[in-house]
Amino acid sequence: MSVDAFDSAEFYDCFDSESLTHGTPEEAVEAWVDFWMDRDADITAVIREHAPCTVTAYRAEEIGEKWIQGLAESLLKRTEESLVEYFGNPNDYDDECISDADLKACLPAMVCAVQRVVSHFHVRRCEPVATRTLNADQIEAMMREYCPYWFESKTQTQNPPEKAL
């Protein structure tokens, strides 16, 4: 059975947020409902007024081999330029200090170095992978399970039952 892209995502959001913090669809929908809520509002009415709600699922982007290769080539070129600038012939910048063949032979080691750095790097840039649009009934059912206290009567929340000592 294949894993659903929506369910296997890392982050979820119902807005076009700059920062992704919701680790579940329920957290994202909770934030969406909370955005529309007023202090004394009827939550069911608020949900019905603003539904549907589209939840977007995100996952961290992968740093591909092409990108790693390009970065390694760029770093190798920058290394050569720095070495020539500081340690090369100051009277003749066209004086070849390292051959193209030797530079090319160094590239696999630079690729390995970049791969090692990438393996320790925590990617923060995310890409959308799936969406689900929830209607008012689906939102309400989700929130009744995830935030049941939102649906308790005001007298219950204002006067919670006494705990037995």
pLDDT tens, residue by residue, 16-68: 888 888 999 999 999 999 999 988 889 999 999 999 999 999 999 999 999 99
Q: Confirm if 35 and 82 have CB atoms less than 8 A apart.
A: no
State the Cα angle at 138 between 132 and 143, rounded to 5°.
105
Q: Where are the domains of the chain?
A: 11-62+123-158, 65-120
Does the N-terminal peptide bond of residue 90 adopt cis geometry, omega within 30 degrees of 0? Answer: no
Model confidence pLDDT, tens digit, residues 120-131: 999 988 999 999
- Predicted structure pTM score: 0.69
In angstroms, the CA 95 to CA 84 distance is 9
Q: Which two tokens stand for residue 136?
A: 């008012």
Does the N-terminal peptide bond of residue 160 adopt cis geometry, omega within 30 degrees of 0? Answer: no
Strands 53-60, 11-13: parallel, antiparallel or unpaired by DSSP? Answer: antiparallel
Q: How many CB atoms lie within 10 A of CB 42?
A: 12
